[in-house]
């Protein structure tokens, strides 16, 4: 055991987004937890350095001393990634990003998502393209939630999005990566980071995304709605690391039939 | 004067600034962003921008989301 411990594994290059580098390739959301304490603990267990938040109306007249999410997820410690969740038009998404930038003192990294319908929360790509163009023109660094169409992903990259984030399956469904082939094609074509955003249900789903060559995974419900969110947050951290190393190592070729691991030569029977 | 604050009609004294409104709501010093008639009001302009009858004001903050 001591010998293997001395083996130096080649270091992976860190994930780079908008000029900053990150050791963790797991990005986590902050929705659906039972309270802010659980949110904080799960984020810590996940090892994530980038954390998404939503922008909503402040409750007027309701306990102004209520703890604030940004007290738990300190913007000095974490990179805050405001989302445009709940937006169904480019106009609403752009407006939300501008409010987020003001809220976060000029921080211009955003997660653009424009939704199509309430049943699937599938990305509305025509509106997403319009919003992305406007946001990029206004100086935003756009990480974009998108369909798993390889041509649209490339289009978003060419427009200047700093990361493309195809869905693995519908938001909150936990169905896992439904079209590995498309995710793989997007990764092959991309010159910006590709992150699977949405659809991960359990640790093996996250590992599959990383084994396909994705640069990272963004998830929320898979952790927040697990039986033990803090344990699952840690499981996801391990899965992302394992999937990444597996991708870098390069898997063995698949074969249709068996191939013995023990030599035939020297058998005595 | 009456304004629309986060979608609700609210009666306020005349000539209130955005900073006055935030103080009135006991939200001074909180991390929030303000929009008046769909235009962002930068924090530096909160003490200067005076609200008018019928203004649509949004006060937002960060909450949990994915």
B28 touches chain A (CB under 8 A): no
Instruction: Specify the number of domains making up chain B.
Output: 1
Q: Quote the minimal CA–CA distance from A242 to chain B in Å.
A: 23
Closest by CA to A15, choosing from A238, A244, A228, is A244
Closest by CA to A47, choosing from A9, A77, A5, is A77
The CA distance from A116 to A222, in Å, is: 22
- Whether B66 is covered by a domain: the verdict is no
Contact yes or no for B61 and A68 at CB 8 A: yes
Res A4: pLDDT: 56
Judge contact between A42 and A64, C-beta under 8 A: no
Res B3: pLDDT: 96
The first and second tokens of residue A92, run together, are 């609403």
Contact yes or no for A68 and B59 at CB 8 A: no
Q: List the domain range (segments joined by +) for residue A189.
A: 19-249
Res A104: pLDDT: 94
Q: Quote the minimal CA–CA distance from B28 to chain A in Å.
A: 10
Q: C-alpha distances in angstroms, B11 versus A60, B20, B51?
A: 14, 14, 12
- Which residue in the block uniquely carries the two structure tokens 């509106």? A127
In DSSP terms, which residues pair with B33 in a beta bridge? B60
**pLDDT single digits (tens) B24-47:** 999 998 999 999 999 999 999 999
Contacts with A29 from chain B: Cβ below 8 Å = 64-66
The CA distance from B12 to B8, in Å, is: 12
Q: List the domain range (segments joined by +) for residue B17.
A: 2-61
Indicate which CATH number applies to the domain containing B39.
3.10.20.30
Interhelix angle A125-137/A90-103, rounded to 10 degrees, is: 40
A145 touches chain B (CB under 8 A): no
The CA distance from A54 to A35, in Å, is: 16
- Whether A255 is covered by a domain: the verdict is no
A68 touches chain B (CB under 8 A): yes
For residues A133, A136, A141 and A143, what is the CA-based torsion angle, rounded to 10 degrees? 0
pLDDT (tens, 9 = 90+) of chain A, 269 residues, equals: 455 567 877 788 999 999 999 999 999 999 999 999 999 999 999 999 999 999 999 988 777 667 789 988 999 999 999 999 999 999 999 999 999 999 999 999 999 999 999 999 999 999 999 999 999 999 999 999 999 999 999 999 999 999 999 999 999 999 999 999 999 999 999 999 999 999 999 999 999 999 999 999 999 999 999 999 999 999 999 999 999 999 999 999 999 999 989 998 999 99
A241 Cβ contact partners less than 8 Å away, ≥ 6 residues apart: A25
Judge contact between A28 and A43, C-beta under 8 A: yes
**pLDDT single digits (tens) B42-58:** 999 999 999 999 999 99
Instruction: Specify the number of domains making up chain A.
Output: 1
- Whether A148 is covered by a domain: the verdict is yes
- Whether A220 is covered by a domain: the verdict is yes
The CA distance from A190 to A215, in Å, is: 11
Q: A residues 185-244 near B, CB within 8 Å?
A: 198, 218-221
B11 touches chain A (CB under 8 A): no
Res A8: pLDDT: 78
- Whether A53 is covered by a domain: the verdict is yes
The CA distance from A86 to B18, in Å, is: 27
- Whether B13 is covered by a domain: the verdict is yes
Indicate which CATH number applies to the domain containing A85.
3.20.20.70
Q: Which residues of A are annotated as a binding site for 1-deoxy-D-xylulose 5-phosphate?
A: 172, 198-199, 220-221
Judge contact between A200 and A217, C-beta under 8 A: yes
Res A5: pLDDT: 63
Give the DSSP H/E element, type plus range, for residue A50. Answer: strand A50-57
Asked if A111 is an active-site residue, the reply is: yes
In DSSP terms, which residues pair with A142 in a beta bridge? A110
3-state secondary structure of A36: helix
3-state secondary structure of A72: helix
Chain CA centroid to CA A123, Å: 15
A13, A91, A98, A111: the active-site residue: A111
Contacts with A138 from chain B: Cβ below 8 Å = none
């Amino acid at each position: 055991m001591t010998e293997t411990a001395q083996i130096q594994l080649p270091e992976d290059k860190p994930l780079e987004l908008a000029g900053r580098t990150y050791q963790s390739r797991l990005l986590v959301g902050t929705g659906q937890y039972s309270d802010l304490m659980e949110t904080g603990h799960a984020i810590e267990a996940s090892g994530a350095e980038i954390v998404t938040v939503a922008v909503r109306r402040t409750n007027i007249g309701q306990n102004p001393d209520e703890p604030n999410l940004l007290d738990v997820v300190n913007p000095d410690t974490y990179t805050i990634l405001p989302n445009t969740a709940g937006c169904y038009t480019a106009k609403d998404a752009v407006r939300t990003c501008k409010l987020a930038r003001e809220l976060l003192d000029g921080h211009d990294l955003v997660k653009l998502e424009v939704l199509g319908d309430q049943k699937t929360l599938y990305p509305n790509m025509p509106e997403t393209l319009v919003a992305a163009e406007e946001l990029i023109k206004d100086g935003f660094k756009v990480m974009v939630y998108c369909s798993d169409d390889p041509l649209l992903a490339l289009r978003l990259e060419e427009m200047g999005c700093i990361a493309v984030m195809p869905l693995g399956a519908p938001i909150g469904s936990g169905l896992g990566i439904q079209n590995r082939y498309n995710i793989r094609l997007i990764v092959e074509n991309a010159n910006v980071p590709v992150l699977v955003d949405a659809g991960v249900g359990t640790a093996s789903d996250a590992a599959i995304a990383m084994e396909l060559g994705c640069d990272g995974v963004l998830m929320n419900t898979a952790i927040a709605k697990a039986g033990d969110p803090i344990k699952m947050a840690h499981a996801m951290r391990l899965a992302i690391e394992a999937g990444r190393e597996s991708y870098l190592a390069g898997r063995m070729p698949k074969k249709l039939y068996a191939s013995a691991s023990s030599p035939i030569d020297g058998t005595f029977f | 004067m009456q304004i629309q604050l986060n979608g609700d009609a609210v009666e306020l004294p005349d000539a209130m600034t955005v900073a006055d409104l935030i103080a009135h709501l006991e939200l001074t010093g909180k991390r929030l962003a303000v929009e008046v008639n769909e235009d962002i009001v930068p924090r530096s302009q909160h003490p200067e921008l005076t609200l008018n009858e019928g203004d649509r004001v949004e006060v937002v903050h960060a909450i949990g989301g994915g």
